[in-house]
Amino acid sequence: DSCLNVANDANCSNGLYCDGDETCDASNDCQAGTAPCSAGETCNESDDTCNASTSPVVLGFYDFESGTQGWDVEGSDVALRSDGRNAAWARSGTFALRIRDDTTTSDAESPSFDVSAFSTVEVTFWYRARGFEQNEDFVLEYLTGTGWSNNPEHRWICGADFENKQPFKQVVASIDVTASNVKSAFKIRFRCDASENNDRIYIDDVEVKGFV
């Protein structure tokens, strides 16, 4: 005689829709299910549905206090700054992104976001500048599928939009992603468009939200 252990998923179900269907593994017992709703959707347990959220969804917040937090900061022209000499160049805490000059390494690139459920991405950030000459600038860019964007609304110019050593300024930038063909791997980046190493922009407290 022998005993046959037959997996029965029904024995593992907790009766809830929003945490997915539990399964039974003959060797490892009950296994958790996968949540059925996508980013940007809310789960309704009462009628077992996923509904588009009317509230913004925070896709990421970056204060750089724990390091680069997934941002690509390779190259000599972008770095985190935290020492006492530069403490005033962080908006909160002691760390901020510092980007300088105008070279192939004068940019900081974000982690990727899945924005498939959204029509608009909103980027909120704080910045402070030093050393810029008049009419030099920095930009916020995003992946378009054929390269990085070139939107004049996402460009900030010394003498028009900011002055050196002003207190940190907040920016809220809106990006229409309706027609984007990189919605599953969307990225943003900050790029310094100045002229020398002493031209520096400090970026802090970056928040990325998605809107349906």
What token pair was written down for 206? 């970056």
| Phi, psi angles (nearest 5°) of residue 32 | -65, 150
Could you say which DSSP state residue 169 is in?
A: E
What is the tens place of the pLDDT at every residue in 178-210? 888 889 999 999 999 999 999 999 999 999 999
Q: Which residue has the tokens 């929003």?
A: 18
Nearest to 146 by CA among 180, 189, 194: 180
**What is the percent of the chain with per-residue pLDDT over 70, rounded to a whole number?**
93
Q: Give the predicted TM-score (pTM) of the model.
A: 0.75
Q: What is the mean pLDDT of residues 160-187?
A: 93
**pLDDT surpasses 80 at 83:** no
Please state which of the ranges 14-23, 74-83, 143-152 shows the lowest mean pLDDT.
74-83
Q: Which residue has the tokens 């390494």?
A: 105
Please state which of the ranges 65-69, 81-85, 159-163 shows the lowest mean pLDDT.
81-85
**pLDDT surpasses 70 at 86:** no
Could you say which DSSP state residue 153 is in?
A: G
| Phi, psi angles (nearest 5°) of residue 52 | -60, 130
Q: Give the pLDDT band (50/70/90) at residue 82.
A: low
What is the tens place of the pLDDT at every residue in 3-62? 667 788 888 999 999 999 999 988 888 999 999 987 767 888 888 888 876 678 999 999
What token pair was written down for 65? 């206090």
Nearest to 140 by CA among 96, 101, 187, 103: 187
Note the pLDDT of residue 207: 98
Asked if residues 194 and 48 have their Cβ atoms less than 8 Å apart, the reply is: no
Residues 6+ apart with CB under 8 A from 99: 77, 78, 106, 107, 108, 138, 190, 191, 192, 200, 201, 203
Cα–Cα dist 83/87, whole Å: 6
What is the tens place of the pLDDT at every residue in 108-121? 999 999 999 899 99
If 0-12 CB within 10 Å is exposed, 13-18 middle and 19+ buried, where does residue 127 land? Answer: buried
